Amino acid sequence: MRQYKSLNGCTFPSNNIINEEEKMNFKTYNDLSKCIVSNLNKIPPNIDLVVGIPRSGTMVANMLALYLNLPFTDVASLLRGGELRAGYTKRAAGWIKKIEDAKTVLVVDDSVSSGKAIKEAKEQLKDCPYQLIWMAVYVLPFNKNMVDIWFEVCNQPRMFEWNFMHHWALENCCMDIDGVLCEDPKWFENDDGEKYKAFLKNTRPKLVPTKKVGVLVSCRLEKYREDTERWLKEYNILYDKLVLMNGITAKERALIGGHANFKAEVYKKSGAILFIESDNNQAIEICQITGKPVLCIENMQLINSDNIGRQLITKTVEIQKTGKQIVKKLIWMTRKNKE
């Protein structure tokens, strides 16, 4: 069996290597919500309080508490005790006002990997006077017995929308810059001159990885390497390699396009297991060219060989809808001008 270890809620192989052939499992907030709703029947009816294990467990516990209309708190607050606050939502019958009034407590984490977080929480709460029921949404086939209730087996390698920018596997990934690490420049900023240089200097970060990224890939021109490196250093974004477009001018780039082709070629040669891209159309093209998975930030979808056909159909339908809207607009404008 492949051995995995865990760090900060993220799981990865114990030998620090992920093969290109291994299929990445990616769970979105939407996946999480659907999973929770479809498994609510597994929660015992006698729960008085839902408690989250920081950080991701508190998110899941809060969602469960809202669905079940139960009070919610975290592990530290459970230990301290005290009053429970719940805003102005209509409270269910038997709603407890103080933590000390609880009898049965559901302790929740988003996932179990090595089980370190669950073990630490159990140690913290070992002297609590409550009946504790332990739960996780996602587990591995071999650690299901670490909790009393689990919702779904999610195998390795895996990433979640709420922690993928803190995942060790980023070292085995390619990542776009504009649209991921920062916003895309506006059309008036993209002048290949002083306005663009001001954008490169002053743009604010969007998603900042806390782990080193294998390859940063951007269609920014090579002449802007120094500006790009300076910005990355300012925001402590670590990477092994930075690949920019070389031997081409901004006008040629705009005329030729080929952004997805450029990124795909880098991705193919890199040995990376995942490309993190900002634009959905480019993400689909990169996946088509390489046959490898692409995580699209625009819609938080993992595009791979299993769903590329559906992605292409969706893209075609969207193009057709846009075309019809343009035609209708032109017809309306023509009629308006005749009047």
**pLDDT at residue 328, as a whole number:** 53
CATH number at residue 20: 3.40.50.2020
Tell me the average pLDDT across 295-320.
73
* One domain for residues 118 and 173: no
Task: Tell me the C-alpha distance between 324 and 336, whole Å.
Answer: 18
* 81 domain residue, yes or no: yes
**Count of domains forming the chain:** 2
* 251 domain residue, yes or no: yes
pLDDT in tens, 187-203: 999 999 999 999 999 99
Domain stop point among 160, 195, 229: 160
The answer on pLDDT for 13 being more than 60 is no
Least confident piece of the model among 1-10, 247-256, 301-310: 1-10
* One domain for residues 252 and 106: no
C-alpha distances (whole Å) from 248 to each of 30, 73, 121 are 41, 56, 56
Rounded (to 5) percent helix, strand, coil in the chain = 40, 25, 35
Domain that holds residue 13: 4-160
Q: Which amino acid is at 296?
A: C
* 212 domain residue, yes or no: yes
**Predicted structure pTM score:** 0.81
* 274 domain residue, yes or no: yes
* One domain for residues 110 and 203: no
Name the residue with higher pLDDT: 87 or 219. 219
For residue 321, name the pLDDT band (cuts at 50, 70, 90).
Answer: low
CATH number at residue 269: 3.40.50
Name the residue with higher pLDDT: 216 or 311. 216
Contacts of 274 (CB under 8 A, 6+ apart): 24, 169, 172, 173, 174, 292, 293, 294, 295
The DSSP bridge pattern shows strands 25-27 and 173-176 to be: unpaired
* One domain for residues 64 and 131: yes
| HSE toward the beta carbon, residue 305, CA cutoff 13 A | 8
Tell me the average pLDDT across 275-300.
95
The answer on pLDDT for 9 being more than 70 is no
**pLDDT at residue 307, as a whole number:** 72
* One domain for residues 127 and 173: no
* One domain for residues 215 and 156: no
* One domain for residues 175 and 187: yes
Question: Is the CB of residue 176 less than 8 Å from the CB of residue 278?
Answer: yes
- Percent of the chain, pLDDT > 90? 73
For 289-309, give the DSSP string: HH-S-EEETTTTEEE-TTTHH
Domain stop point among 118, 136, 160: 160
* 85 domain residue, yes or no: yes
* 228 domain residue, yes or no: yes
The answer on pLDDT for 1 being more than 50 is no
Task: Tell me the C-alpha distance between 277 and 227, whole Å.
Answer: 21
Classify residue 93 by its DSSP letter.
T
Domain stop point among 97, 129, 160: 160
For residue 254, name the pLDDT band (cuts at 50, 70, 90).
Answer: confident
* One domain for residues 181 and 150: no
* One domain for residues 182 and 133: no
